[in-house]
Amino acid sequence: MSTDDKNRAIAAAILPLVGGPENIDSVAHCMTRLRLGLRDRSLVQDEALKALPSVMGVVEDDTYQIVLGPGTVARVTPEFEALVAAAPKPSADDLAAQGAAIKAAQKAKNQTPFKLFLRKIANIFVPLIPALIGCGIIAGLNGLLINLGWLPSVTPALAAMASGFMALIAVFVGFNTAKEFGGTPILGGAVAAIIVFPGVAKIDAFGQTLSPGQGGVLGALGAAVLAVYVEKWCRRWVPESLDVLVTPTLTVLVSGLVTIFGLMFVAGEISTAIGDFANWLLANAGAGAGFVLGGLFLPLVMLGLHQALIPIHTTLIEQQGFTVLLPILAMAGAGQVGAAMAVYLKLPRNGSIRRTIKSALPAGFLGVGEPLIYGVSLPLGRPFVTACVGGAFGGGFIGLFNMLGDKVGSTAIGPSGWALFPLLDGNKGLGETIAIYAGGLLVGYAVGFVATYVWGFSARLLEEFNVDTDPVEVPVASGGPTPTTPAQEPAKV
């Protein structure tokens, strides 16, 4: 079967299990998940969906999220969209009537203003991750070639490829911000472009000469949000006959002046403070800070609060060339892997959980933790806590080396686990940086394993879950075998 056929088959297998094309309200994807807006949540066949070999797990948030893994999800999503688009469309009345109450209740769930704001921030930066990853890997390759003295005629070209996107990242942030906040995307990009325009070096503000890029992505975000509000005001008050001329002009003029003579300076100070604080924290309390960050990252992910870190990562990459926080946070995944291996050994009779672990571990090593979180540690309870302990010790290990002067950073955001190795950078040699990160992973694996094996199971939890879950063959009167499953009490909470 060709790759296209395989992806089409995966999409075709998923579609009927989420209620068919008429139940799909929206389709999107992130790095690992197919995100579906559903009209009627009750039509989803969760267990059948989880049983598909290509599905690593499901997550329910404001959208129904099916974990397919990196790479796969980007290829399956277009096939899924094509299947939905090809299906006969129900009438408007049918769509309005179908599951309206359920849909309203689902949208209302977990919709606090703060989380909605964080989701908007994530929607601005997540589309930039593929470019950050690609340019980051090229930057790492270029650095390696320069250190080895190889291909000197090629390295300048690689440097241009790696740096071009970062030089203009403010424009992309402005474009996405305006789009997300309901404005005209190109106007947001136009205002944000002021920040990286070389000519701002001739302008003085607050007694200082501005520099191109001052304020970075935070300034671009603020400028684009301001542009959206100016544009909406113009749409409301400018006569329709003049709108096409006046609205874009006033939007760029007003928000541009505020950006040049206010936002660039303020955002620049905030960006500098973020970089200085991150460096100070890891230099003076690196082990403790790494312990806390590595241990709390998974709960932050569960609450959706990790999205607040995306602009911070991007700011650090823009300022220093890498973010020192991501390798520490990646240790949370290492704790999950160690905990999962301990669960595998502690439940030798539970074939179902052991199969889940065996299928999810490769993705876990590559930093895709959802299958292990939602399929293993979180449902069991205690192993989720001990996995966080493993992440805490791994983060503390890397933080300790930051205290000793060995910075370990990532040139992009998104990947984790072993997938982060090509993106590693730091203030020392690449070999030393890789060794420290690898050491942190090993510590996370080991502590997550030991903590889970020793403290991850109570006697009642073992009694409940260490049971045969596979069907067994028993003879019947006709002489033929028939499958049966041992009786099992419901899980005790």
What are the residue numbers of the active site? 30
> Nearest 5°: phi and psi at 178?
-60, -40
> Which single residue is written with the structure tokens 């959208």?
63
How far is 237 from 43, CA to CA, in rounded Å? 45
Three-state DSSP class for 474? strand
Contacts of residue 63, Cβ cutoff 8 Å, sequence gap at least 6: 26, 28, 35, 36, 37, 38
> Nearest 5°: phi and psi at 28?
-155, 175
Angle between helices 331-346 and 351-365 (to 10 degrees): 160
Nearest Cα to 145, choosing from 131, 134, 130, 157? 157
Contacts of residue 365, Cβ cutoff 8 Å, sequence gap at least 6: 337, 417, 418
Residue type for position 318 = E
DSSP lists the bridge partners of residue 483 as 473
Q: Both ends of the chain: CA-CA distance in Å?
A: 45
Residue 405 to residues 401, 421, 428, Cα–Cα distance (Å): 6, 20, 9
- Using an 8 Å Cβ cutoff, are 163 and 134 in contact? no
Contacts of residue 438, Cβ cutoff 8 Å, sequence gap at least 6: none
Any idea what DSSP says for residue 201?
A: G
Residue 379 to residues 23, 68, 463, Cα–Cα distance (Å): 28, 20, 15
How far is 287 from 289, CA to CA, in rounded Å? 6
Contacts of residue 24, Cβ cutoff 8 Å, sequence gap at least 6: 15, 18, 36, 37, 38, 39, 84
Burial 370-407 (b: 16+ CB within 10 A, else e): bbbbbbbbbebebbbbbbbbbbbbbbbbbbbbbbeebb
> Which single residue is written with the structure tokens 């991150």?
278
